[in-house]
Amino acid sequence: MTGGARILVTGGAGYVGSHAVWALHDRGDEVVVYDSLRQGHRQALPPAVQLVRGELADEAALDRLLSNGPWDGVLHFAALSLVGESMQRPFHYLLENAGLGIRLIDACVRHGVKRFILSSTAALFGNPETMPITETTRIDPGSPYGESKLMIEQTLRWADRIHGLRYACLRYFNAAGADPDGRSGEDHHPETHLIPLVIDAALGLRPEIRVFGSDYPTPDGTCIRDYVHVADLAQAHLAAFDRLDQGSVTYNLGSGTGHSVLEVIRSVERVSGRPVPVRMEQRRPGDPAVLVADSARIRADTGWTPRFTELDDIVGTALRWRQAHPQGFGPNDPAA
Q: Phi/psi of residue 14, each to 5°?
A: -85, -170
Per residue in 217-226, pLDDT (tens digit) is 999 999 999 9
Q: What is the pLDDT of residues 43-83, one digit of tens each?
A: 999 999 999 999 999 999 999 999 999 999 999 999 999 98
Confidence category of residue 84, pLDDT binned at 50, 70, 90: confident
Q: Which residues are catalytic?
A: 145
For the chain, what is the mean pLDDT? 96
Instruction: Please give the pLDDT value at position 76.
Output: 98
Closest to 74 (Cα-Cα) out of 116, 13, 27, 11: 116
Q: What is the pLDDT of residue 154?
A: 98
**252: which strand partners?**
171
Residue 287 banded pLDDT, cuts 50, 70, 90: confident
Contacts of 327 (CB under 8 A, 6+ apart): none
pTM: 0.96
CB burial string 256-286: b at 16+ within 10 A, e below: bbbbbbbbbbbbbeebbeeebeeeeeeeeee
CA distances from 310 to 108, 229, 252, 285 (A): 39, 10, 19, 30
In this structure, which amino acid lies at residue 138?
R
Give percent of the chain above pLDDT 70. 98
Return phi, psi of residue 235, to 5°: -65, -30
Identify the pLDDT of residue 333: 56
**Cis-peptide, bond into residue 70, ω within 30° of zero:** yes
